[in-house]
Every structure is written in C-alpha cells, then in structure tokens.
C-alpha cells in the first residue's frame, strides 16, 4: 500500500468513518472508494475530493523541506534564534534560515 493510500485509510479510521460513510461524503460508489483506498491511482481532482471528505488538504512540499515539515507535524518543535520553549515535544534547535515554511507559499511570478 502506498503512503497516500495508507494516510487516507488511517485518517478515515481516526475520524471514526467507514468506507460507506466516505462514499456518502464524496459521492462515489463503495467499490470505487475501496479501490482508491487499497490500490487506486487517483486523479488529482479525485484526491482533492476525498481529502475534503476527510478534512484534509493535499500539499506539495519541496524535497529539501520535507524532513523539517514531517518533524513539525510529528510534534517536534523547531527553536530558532536561541529562544527557549518548554513542553512535551522534542526540541530541535535550528537557525532561522532553516525555517521549513519559509517561502513555501511565495508566488515566484512577482
């Protein structure tokens, strides 16, 4: 099972939804949804539709920022500029210029 298929299935289960629930949310047959979750190769519009039904958003992340984004989503805090933070999360000290979100949504056409 691919990473996307696994994420869709895990998210559906975490929301307490059945495959039948998802078919009603996204307007596709149960057979279509089962195939999508287990082996399908969804078109982008289908993936966006299913993501919306799961209260998710597909996002493209540059490979050089992927590890930082995964760490952040895993609850690891990135501390910049020597600041101090407390809590249960793992702390990773990084300089400000290593911000994984920096320039991620900047339009290069400007």
- Second CATH level (architecture) for the domain 3-53: Orthogonal Bundle (1.10)
Q: What is the mean pLDDT of residues 3-9?
A: 87
103/22: higher pLDDT: 22
**Res. 41: pLDDT tops 90:** no
Kindly report, residue by residue over 63-93, the tens digit of the pLDDT: 988 888 888 888 876 665 444 444 554 555 5
Q: What is the mean pLDDT of residues 4-29?
A: 92
Give the distance, in angstroms, between the CA of residue 54 and the centroid of all CA atoms in the same chain.
11
Give the distance, in angstroms, between the CA of residue 22 and the centroid of all CA atoms in the same chain.
18
pLDDT at site 75: 81
pLDDT at site 70: 86
Q: What is the mean pLDDT of residues 4-33?
A: 92
Q: How many helices (H) and strands (E) does the chain have?
A: 5, 2
* Per-position DSSP letters for 11-53, written without gaps between them: HHHHTT--HHHHHHHHT--HHHHHHHHHT----HHHHHHHHHH
Phi, psi (rounded to 5 degrees) for 73? -70, -25
Q: Are 99 and 80 in contact (CB under 8 A)?
A: yes
pLDDT at site 74: 83
Q: What is the mean pLDDT of residues 37-52?
A: 89
**Res. 94: pLDDT tops 60:** no
Q: Are 77 and 89 in contact (CB under 8 A)?
A: yes
Domain chopping of the chain, boundaries = 3-53, 63-98
**Res. 34: pLDDT tops 60:** yes
């Amino acid at each position: 099972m691919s990473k996307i298929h696994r994420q869709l299935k895990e998210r559906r289960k975490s929301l307490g939804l059945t495959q039948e629930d998802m078919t009603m949310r996204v307007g596709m047959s149960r057979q279509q949804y089962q195939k999508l979750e287990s082996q399908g190769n969804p078109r982008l519009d289908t993936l966006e539709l299913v993501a919306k039904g799961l209260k998710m958003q597909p996002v493209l992340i540059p490979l050089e920022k992927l590890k930082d984004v995964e760490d952040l989503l895993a609850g690891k805090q990135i501390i910049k500029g020597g600041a101090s933070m407390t809590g249960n999360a793992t702390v990773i000290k990084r300089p400000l210029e290593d911000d994984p979100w920096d320039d991620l949504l900047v339009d290069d056409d400007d």
